[in-house]
Amino acid sequence: MPRLCAEICGEVQPTIISASNASYYAIYKELLGLYRAYPVTTFLLRPIRHLLRNTPSFRYVRQRRVSELLGDNLGEDSNIAAPLNGACVSSMKIGKNVFINTNLLAMARGGITIEDDVRIAANVQLISNNHDPYDLPVLLCKPVHIKASAWIGAGATILPDVCVGRHAVVGAGSVVTKDVPDYAVVVGNPARVVKMLDKERFSEES
């Protein structure tokens, strides 16, 4: 990816957004012309990058690439912000009305299921495969399951064979090594339950 494009648009995985896409590349060429005519610093380009990422055409291209990658495994009204990294990403199953923020690492060889209305913050890691400590080339695969309306905080890591319960909250930076009960709030490394949310305050539909 050209250096200027990287400065304006950020380092984006090609499978999600490609600079070769006609509409995206047209925007890049227009900005490149402005850059050559009026050289500016990377600092001044940052507002342009932010505006570009939030234009309807950019969002449309991004979402189309995500839909091409996941196909029928992506639920209605769900959105993933680029970049998205990992292995076997196309095998993830994502429900309706899910939002996943930037820089998700999805190691999905063991299977990753994300139910409806889940919120996942930036820099989260979902890890469903691990190495056998006695034979490192061998992968041990166990699924990750995030139930409906759970919220995974920024920078959290969910390890193999973990189920995050319905309406559960995983605090930022937590490392989750075992199942999280419904309505539980967990924090820390390893994550532990620090409080339970009031089930009565949630509507039956959510």
Q: What is the pLDDT of residues 123-154, one digit of tens each?
A: 999 999 999 999 999 999 999 999 999 999 99
Instruction: Return mean pLDDT, the chain.
Output: 79
More confident residue, 141 or 51: 141
Q: What is the pLDDT of residues 55-113, one digit of tens each?
A: 554 555 556 667 777 878 899 989 888 888 999 988 899 999 999 999 999 999 999 99
- Residue 203's pLDDT band (cuts 50, 70, 90): confident
Give the active site residues.
Answer: 131
Beta bridge partners of 131: 139
Kindly report the pTM of this predicted structure: 0.71
- Residue 17's pLDDT band (cuts 50, 70, 90): very low
Give the percent of the chain with pLDDT over 70.
67
